[in-house]
């Protein structure tokens, strides 16, 4: 049964963690004071930093496209 949960955890693991972190940061910001202010900054800042990282990180270069896809002699049309 260990392998049955792997695809679910692979796909949804980090989004669930970031969602729980965001929810706890928001709830702490609305309810708590002093130490809650610090946790709310962490809980709401880390998901934004992760999204920023994956938005602006460099992507690997793509392979150049075939300029003449119709010039293949193996295709009849």
Question: Residue 13 pLDDT more than 90?
Answer: yes
Instruction: Identify whether the C-beta of residue 23 lies closer than 8 Å to the C-beta of residue 44.
Output: no
pLDDT for 49 equals 95
pLDDT > 70 in the chain, percent: 73
Q: Which residue has the higher pLDDT, 34 or 59?
A: 34
- Residue with the bigger pLDDT between 37 and 71: it is 37
């Amino acid at each position: 049964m260990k392998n049955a949960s792997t695809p679910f955890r692979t796909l949804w693991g980090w989004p669930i963690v970031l969602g729980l972190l965001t929810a706890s940061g928001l709830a702490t910001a609305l309810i708590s004071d002093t130490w809650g202010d610090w946790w709310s900054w962490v809980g709401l800042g880390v998901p934004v930093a992760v999204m920023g990282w994956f938005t602006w990180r460099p992507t690997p270069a793509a392979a150049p496209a075939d300029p003449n896809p119709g010039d293949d002699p193996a295709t009849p049309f």
